[in-house]
Structure 1
Amino acid sequence: MASKLQNRIVGSVILIALAVIILPELFDGKPQKQEESFETIPLQPDVEVAEVPAQSVPERELPQSLDRVETLELDADDAPQIKKPTQKANEAPSTAEIEQPGWIIQLGVFRNQESVERLVKELRAAGYPAYREVVQTAQGPRNKLLVGPGLVKAELEADLPKLKELTELNGRVMRYEP
């Protein structure tokens, strides 16, 4: 007898559970959506816009990535010595020229900071506006040896043979953005 009673109780519980779950959905019909009220943003007023004719912008030379830059690993003793120039070197640019976009000469990227600082001192003594810039690479910090900036690319290109004679480094002219 207990098994018939148990079967009836289990069946009753299942029917009640189904009724509790399914019947409310059948009698409710479509669920009601509650919409929130919001204020509309006013449209932009009509304003007469004067069109500026497009100016021809010269193509800029963008610097190449550091992955393609040749890296020299030199000790202070192995770094090339700068020979004194036979002609008078160019003067350093004024502060007004430095604030404008222009061109620079990159002589190399070095690991040894002391070598770069020594080369910068020697280039400055020779009359070139040289400086170093530290950049982070995947191999660690590197020091770029730079000369410039200058406003005329041709003038810097003319300095390349003199700099090669002084430093024995092949430089290249790159775009400079202050």
Structure 2
Amino acid sequence: MREGLKQRLVGGFVLAALAVIFLPGLFKEQQGHRVDGESRIPPAPPAQTVEFSDPDATWDGEPAPQPETMFLPDDDASSDSFSLPQQPQVATESSVVAAQFSSSSLASSSSSSAASSAIAAVPAIPLDDKGIPQAWMVQLVSLSNREAAVKLRDDLQRDGYKAFIRDVKTDKGTFIRVFVGPNLNREESAKIKTELDQRLKTNAQIRRFEP
């Protein structure tokens, strides 16, 4: 009898302890949450009102003249004030005419001789049957990559070479050829070929220039 009472007392103590632990949490969840409705936004700063006065349209100066009356010469100005002082008459009219004729003849003869010497200094350009100048150019490489061809052309132009590119369609596709020239002297093209072969490690070709 005592043992059963003891167990009941222990069971009641455990239930009381559980109630003390869990019941406050259950009641707390059922309570409504309190919301702080007080605003924490600071008040707006005071605005200062600035008043602007109306612009003053009055003008104390003189009005501008009409465009057609501006930059006109004065009526008092005379052409006599700009006349050159007269030189004393030394030579006769016949001597003046003879001097002018001789000076004009000398000037025309000197200009004609200068033009003739300038024309003679221009080298004669050989032409083919179609009337095209016989010039030569150096074909460096033939590339399928356009960017590489354009970069090589730009590098050669920066170094002072007259480089250009052309697109050529073949059975294997379109290739971009890089040329240097043209030159009227084939020996000059051969010299450029040797320089670029040593520099770029290529085997360039000398070809006739075709526009």
Under a length normalisation based on structure 2, what TM-score does the superposition of the two structures give?
0.37
Q: Which protein has the bigger helix share?
A: 2
Structure with more contact order per residue of length (Cα contacts < 8 Å, sep ≥ 6): 1
Q: Which protein has the bigger strand share?
A: 1
